[in-house]
Structure 1
Amino acid sequence: MSSAPQLRTLHRPLVWFAASMVVLALVSAGGLLLDDRILVGAPIWAKPFKFSVSFIAYALSLAWMLSLLPGGSRARRVGWWAGTVLTAASLLEMALITLQVVRGKQSHFNQATPFDAALFQTMGMTVVVLWLAALVIAVLLLRARILDRATAWAVRLSSLIALAGASIGFVMVPPTPDQLAQDDPAIVGAHSVGVPDGGPGMPLTGWSTTGGDLRIAHFFGMHALQLIPLLLLALSALAPRFARLADAQIRLRLTLVASAAYAAAFLLLTWQALRGQPLLSPDAPTLTAAATVTILTAAATALSLRTRHLELAA
Structure 2
Amino acid sequence: MSVVAVSPVSVRERWHPPLVWLAVAMFALVLFAAGGMVIDHRVITGLPAWDKPAKFALSVLIYAITWAWLIPQLSKGRRLAERAGTVAAALLAVEMVVIVVQVARGTTSHFNVSSPLNSALWYTMGASIAVVWVATAVISAVLFRNPGPDRARSLGIRYGSLLSLLGMALGFLMVGPKTGQHDLPRTISGAHTVGLPDGGPGLPLLGWSTVGGDLRIPHFVGIHALQLIPLVVIALELLSSRVGVLRDGSTRATLVTIATAAYTALLGVVTWQALRGESVVHPQALTLVSLAAVAAASAGAVTWVVARR
TM-score, normalised by the number of residues in structure 2 = 0.95
The answer to whether structure 1 residue 281 and structure 2 residue 282 are counterparts is yes
Instruction: Tell me which amino acid in the other structure corresponds to 2:2.
Output: S
Deviates more, 1:123-132 or 1:234-243: 234-243
Confirm or deny that 1:299 pairs with 2:295: no
Take 2:3 and 2:121, find their aligned partners in 1: how far apart are those partners?
Answer: 42
2:125 to 118, 123, 126: 123
- Name the residue aligned to 1:259: 260
CA 1:7–1:276 in 2, change beyond 3 Å: closer, same or farther?
Answer: farther
Structure 1 equivalent of residue 95 of structure 2: 93
Q: For each residue in 1:49-69, what CA deviation from the matched residue of structure 2 results, as whole angstroms up to 9, or x when unmatched?
A: 000111111111112222331
Q: What are the within-5 Å matches in structure 2 for residues 156-171 of structure 1?
A: 156-171=158-173
Could you tell me which residue of structure 1 aligns to residue 62 of structure 2?
Answer: 57
Q: Deviations over 1:257-299 (max 9, x none)?
A: 1111111111111000000000111112211211111111101
1:112–1:185 CA contact under 8 A, matched in 2: yes
1:311: which partner in 2? none
Unmatched 5+ stretches in structure 2? none
**CA-to-aligned-CA distance 1:68-115 (integer Å, 9 cap, x gap):** 311xx4x11111111111101101100110011111111000011100
Tell me the amino acid that sits aligned with residue 123 of structure 1: M
- CA distance, structure 2, for counterparts of residue 52 and residue 165 of structure 1: 17
Query: 187-196 or 7-16: which moved more?
Result: 7-16
**C-alpha separation between the residues in 1 aligned to 2:126 and 2:30?**
22
Aligned residue for 1:209, secondary structure, equals coil
Runs of 4+ in 1 over 3 A off after TM superposition: 1-8
Q: Pick the aligned partner of 2:74 from 69, 72, 80.
A: 69
Percent identical among aligned pairs is 45
Asked if the contact 1:11–1:64 (Cα under 8 Å) also holds between the matched residues in 2, the reply is yes
* Counterpart check, 1:190 vs 2:191: yes
Partner residue of 1:41 out of 42, 46, 49? 46
* Counterpart amino acid of residue 293 in structure 1: V
Aligned counterparts of 2:307 and 2:25: Cα–Cα separation in 1: 46
Paired residue secondary structure (1:208): coil
Structure 1 gaps of 5+ residues are 309-314
Q: Which residue matches 1:312?
A: none
State the shift of 1:307 in Å: 2.9
**Mapped pair 1:20 → 2:22:** no
Aligned-partner Cα distance in 2 for 1:278–1:21: 30
Write the deviation string for residues 175-226 of structure 1: whole angstroms up to 9, x where unpaired.
Answer: 112111x211211100100111000001221100000000000011000010
User: What pairs with 1:224-239 in structure 2 (closer than 5 Å)?
Assistant: 224-239=225-240
Aligned to 2:218: 217
Amino acid corresponding to residue 141 of structure 2 in structure 1:
V
Residue correspondences, number:
304
Question: 1:3 offset after TM fit, Å?
Answer: 7.1
Aligned partner of 1:179 among 167, 178, 181? 181
Deviation, structure 1 residue 238:
2.0
SS in 2 for 1:106: coil
1:195-206 equivalent positions in 2, closer than 5 A: 195-206=196-207
Does the Cα contact within 8 Å between 1:207 and 1:216 map onto a contact in 2? yes
